[in-house]
Amino acid sequence: MQVLILFDLDGTVLRSHNGFIPFNQAIEKTFGVPGDIRSVIPDGNTDPVILEEIFATANVDLEITADQWAAFAVNLHKSYSENIQEGRTRFHSLPGVRELLRELEAKEGVYQGIVTGNLEITGKLKLEAVGLSEYLSIGAFGSDSPNRPDLPVIARERWEQALGEPIPAERCLIVGDTPKDLEAARRNQMKCLLVGTGRYPFEELYLLGPDGCVSDFTDTEAAVETLLSCVIS
């Protein structure tokens, strides 16, 4: 029986230091107006929604065209790359994540992918920066849809295409660090495990009633058991 585990990135798998710098630079370069991602709460949102909220907070009335979206993605990737290279922006994987992904990778019938609000071009850059791209590749991104609950089914369909067989929704597990990850899972009849490594503490996430909840992934054996118990009864 196949099991598909779909990981969020920021706050769940990795964390950034000064990640706001390239995001803000890309806004000004693309749209010609200043914008600050620190003016909103981005956790759990897709990049398109984050950008709209930044403009709304700044009282900037701007209709974003398809060409501008494409330019923003290119500028964001370039800005991230330059800031990483120059040491202004850094990324690190969260404690225990690498060991967890390695253990899951070794289990037959267990597949792991991505569901993140990042644009694909920058989500994959972040994974490469922390050396986790070998474990997480196929999935869905904010560039696929601005609506977070759309992403799990897109990721599942891509995995089904890659494997050549269907994966039941109840055998899919969303792993995230925000209430919006749980909402996206429930909207798609998927299971959800929440981890308290982001903005929301374990106690608050636990009270939401996910299928599983952990403080972090430092105990690899316990994390694997908890993850798999959510989808294998």
What pLDDT does 63 receive?
A: 85
Residue 165 is predicted with a pLDDT of 93
Strands (E), the chain: 3-7, 14-17, 90-93, 110-115, 139-140, 172-176, 191-195, 212-214
Question: The whole model's pTM is what?
Answer: 0.95
The pLDDT, as a whole number, for residue 12 is 98
Mean pLDDT in consecutive groups of 10 residues from the start of the chain, 233 residues: 94 96 96 94 95 94 89 96 96 97 96 97 96 95 96 97 95 98 97 97 97 97 96 83
What is residue 232's predicted lDDT score, i.e. its pLDDT? 86
Here the tokens at position 92 are: 């690190």
Residue 27: what are its φ and ψ, rounded to 5°? -60, -50
